[in-house]
Copies of this chain bind each other. A is one copy, B any other.
Amino acid sequence: MPKIAREIHLVKRPTGLPGPDSFRLAERQLAEPVSGQLLVRNQWISVDPYMRGRMTEKKSFIPPFALNEVMEGAAVGIVEESRDPAFKPGDTVSHFAGWRDLALIDAAGAAVVDPAFPLQAYLGPLGFPGLAAYAGFLRLGEPRPGETVFVSAAAGAVGSLVAQIARIKGNHVIASAGSPDKIDWLLKEAGVDQVINYKTEKDITAALAKAAPRGIDIYFDNVGGDHLEAAIANANDFARFTLCGMIAQYNGEPIGPRNIYAVIEKSLKLQGFIASNHLDLWPDFQRDMKQWITDGRIKWKETVVEGLENSPQAFLDIFAGANAGKMLVKLG
């Protein structure tokens, strides 16, 4: 019996903030799996800010999405059919054929995950957002105990993990977030020391100066724009900046930090990075993160949207800051 997959296609390359008209729900009849393939029923799919970059034509670290084709992204699902000896029906796997309910994939692109943890954790703390936080903060931030760390979009999927890893490592953590709920969670659950509400503060630089009178030593950037300028302005000499995302400028006129000369004056290091270039840390990351989760030292928030048809709106809502923690789409 032919299998029908429901998929989200990109039908128009957005300029500026994308709208729902860039996406279309489509159906596709799948072939039977051949040797080395799996048929996977997705349970959770991921929508992430970086996907905005793939919606343009511009070459980036990852190729653009094709027009009128299904998009890609992280997903976890259950194997329905396997033509690879390493997988069997019922296995839970993570893979990259998201934005669809049923995926015919090469087994080489799938990994069995331990169902002792919630499946959707493999799209968050135990997935690429977790690796981004772990590698970006520990390897590139080079934290020393007692240093002051500033994390932007700290209630987001990556930022919330960075904030908590920094606390585990004995750092003083200043976070930025955009709603009372998020701030409350950061202070009470994630244990950060101070939070700046970037939506009510007119001047992030002044707010950070007040929160960090002795300056910051590490900045983990998920926002860019005024947050990056504020971090440069308040950086101590030899501070390390991990540039992980710049959600403030994915959809508008790009803005460079006007105080970039201070990068010289203060001997700052600004290091851009992509989590997938740090896969050598994967075993350490999985070991540490699983331990921290088990010990209750890492918590996470999720914003769950149900139904594949709602995944474009879930993606769009990220840019309005509607998500607390990881934005997830639950299927089935």
Asked whether A260 and B257 contact (CB < 8 A) given A269-B271, A270-B269, the answer is yes
Residues of B within 8 A of A268 (CB): 271-272
Is the pair B273, A270 in contact by a Cβ cutoff of 8 Å? no
Please determine whether B272 and A266 come into contact, CB atoms closer than 8 angstroms.
yes
Contact with B along A244-261 (1 / 0, CB 8 A): 111001100011111111
Evaluate contact between B265 and A256: CB separation under 8 angstroms: no
Q: Quick check: is A81 within 8 A (CB to CB) of the other chain?
A: no
- A302: CB under 8 A from chain B? no
Dominant secondary structure at the A interface:
loop
The count of chain A contact residues (Cβ–Cβ below 8 Å) is 35
Bound Cα distance from A326 to B250, whole angstroms = 42
Q: Which residues of B contact A264 (CB under 8 A)?
A: 243-246, 272-274
A199-255 interface with B by 8 A CB criterion: 224, 228-229, 237, 243-246, 249-250, 254-255
A53: Cβ under 8 A from any B Cβ: yes
Which residues of the partner chain B approach A271 to less than 8 Å between Cβ atoms?
267-270
Measured CB to CB, the nearest residue on chain B to A238 is B277
Collect the chain B residues with CB atoms within 8 Å of residue A250's CB.
261
Find out whether the CB atom of A246 lies under 8 angstroms from the CB atom of B260: yes
A84 to chain B, nearest CB (A): 32
Q: How far is the CA of A272 from the CA of B265 in the complex (A)?
A: 7
| Cα–Cα distance between A254 and B262 once the two chains are bound (Å) | 11
Find chain B residues with CB under 8 A from A270 CB.
263, 269-271
B249–A261 touching, CB < 8 Å: yes
Which A residues have a C-beta under 8 Å from some C-beta of B?
Answer: 53, 60-61, 224, 228-229, 237, 243-246, 249-250, 254-274, 277
27 pairs of residues in contact across A and B, judged by CB atoms under 8 Å: A53-B265, A61-B237, A61-B265, A61-B266, A243-B264, A246-B260, A246-B261, A246-B264, A250-B261, A254-B258, A254-B260, A254-B261, A255-B258, A256-B256, A256-B257, A256-B260, A257-B260, A262-B272, A263-B270, A265-B272, A265-B274, A266-B272, A267-B272, A268-B271, A269-B269, A269-B270, A270-B271
